[in-house]
Amino acid sequence: MSLKLKVATLENVAEVLTLHYKYQVDSISEQDKQDGFITTAFTESHLTRLIEDENGLFIAIKNDKIVAYAMSASWQFWCQWPMFQYMVDNLDDSTLNQNRLTIDNSYQYGPVCVDKSVRGQGVFEEIFNFSLQNMAKRYPFMVTFINKINTRSYQAHTRKVQLNVINEFSFNNNQYFKLACNTH
């Protein structure tokens, strides 16, 4: 499969939003929900800031179509949503291989989304690693979370790439794993 990976620019925003809302919790089909969904309802202005301020939107293109995205950004960017503010407030509740995680030495990866037409074909690993390599220039550690009911995402992130579960937490009646890794 010929897959092109790139850091998204503003002209990609509309197409990323179309992919996003196919798998966002409020608009996903009931049938697709069992393979995971994304909670946050991103807007054009969120993605514009993510691109312009963070260079943090990564996309995979196949046959001129965006088939996957991964977002990565500073904690300062994510704090506009209460869930991430909660994560920042509790960033010091766990370590990664005895390394302290701070808002300066770590960033938050995710959400990630792979269109169902290309799932299970290595696109997930490619977009994950592309995002990691780009963010490694800026941060030694990556932190993320996975809703415990999203077993597909948990399997992908713990078996297909090397993320470690460093803690668990609940927020808004949802149960999450907290995961992290070195970027190098």
Give the footprint of ligand COA on this chain (CB under 6 A): 23, 34-38, 110-114, 119-120, 123-124, 150-153, 155-156, 160
Shortest separation between residue 141's beta carbon and ligand COA, angstroms: 19
Q: How many CB atoms lie within 10 A of CB 111?
A: 18
- Encoded amino acid at 69, one letter: Y
Asked if 57 and 16 touch (Cβ cutoff 8 Å), the reply is yes
| CA-angle at 75, arms to 69 and 81, nearest 5° | 80
Token look-up 């995710």 returns 110
Residue nearest to ligand COA (CB): 36
DSSP 87-103: HHHTGGG-EETTEE--T
Q: How far apart are the first and last CA of the chain?
A: 27
- By beta-carbon proximity to ligand COA, the closer residue of 100 and 160 is 160
Report how far Cα 71 is from the mean position of its chain's Cα atoms.
5
Shortest separation between residue 176's beta carbon and ligand COA, angstroms: 11
- By beta-carbon proximity to ligand COA, the closer residue of 106 and 153 is 153
Shortest separation between residue 34's beta carbon and ligand COA, angstroms: 6
- By beta-carbon proximity to ligand COA, the closer residue of 34 and 48 is 34
- By beta-carbon proximity to ligand COA, the closer residue of 7 and 115 is 115
**167 closest CA partner among 145, 137, 142:** 145
Shortest separation between residue 124's beta carbon and ligand COA, angstroms: 4
**173 closest CA partner among 79, 94, 88, 83:** 83
- By beta-carbon proximity to ligand COA, the closer residue of 13 and 113 is 113
- By beta-carbon proximity to ligand COA, the closer residue of 1 and 99 is 1
Shortest separation between residue 156's beta carbon and ligand COA, angstroms: 4
Shortest separation between residue 95's beta carbon and ligand COA, angstroms: 23
